[in-house]
Amino acid sequence: MNDCYDILLVEDSPTQALQFQLLLQRAGYRVLIARDGAEGLRKASDSTARVILLDIDLPKLDGFQVLARLKRGRATAAIPVIMLTSREHISNVERALELGAADYLPKEDALALVCDTVAQLIGQGAARSESLA
């Protein structure tokens, strides 16, 4: 498959997925959606996403399990992952960052912040690519 998307959104809530998708598409990003953790891993391997937005509370595999596997995968380790959650415990933030998340956004704040955060991460990736050339 190997399609190129700007963002892979792994979110099981259809309403929240649609909100994020519309917001990101209006900002000019191509968005691919996965509805559970297992599908998210599969789509991350099958597509070339520049950033992954990952919910924590997911069916099949939770966001922490997905994040750990993404960061161990040869094809997915370098993709920045932004964790999205309604959980606000500091231990969850610490765990996500220890597992390799680039950022952690509470969902109530995420809609306002996600476009800026994604733009920064994509810009950093472009700068890294240019320095390697």
pTM as predicted:
0.83
CA dihedral 23, 47, 84, 62 (to 10 degrees): 140
Give the per-residue pLDDT at 34.
97
Mean pLDDT split into 10-residue runs, the chain, 133 residues: 78 94 90 97 91 94 96 94 83 92 85 76 60 43
Per-residue pLDDT at 77 = 95
Q: Which of 71, 51, 56 is nearest to 115 (CA)?
A: 51
Q: What is the pLDDT of residue 119?
A: 79
Q: How far apart are CA 112 and CA 11, in angstroms?
A: 17
Coil vs helix vs strand at 131: helix
**Alpha carbon distance 110, 123 (integer Å):** 19
Q: What is the DSSP string of 45-75?
A: HHEEEEEEEEESS-SSS-HHHHHHHHHH-TT
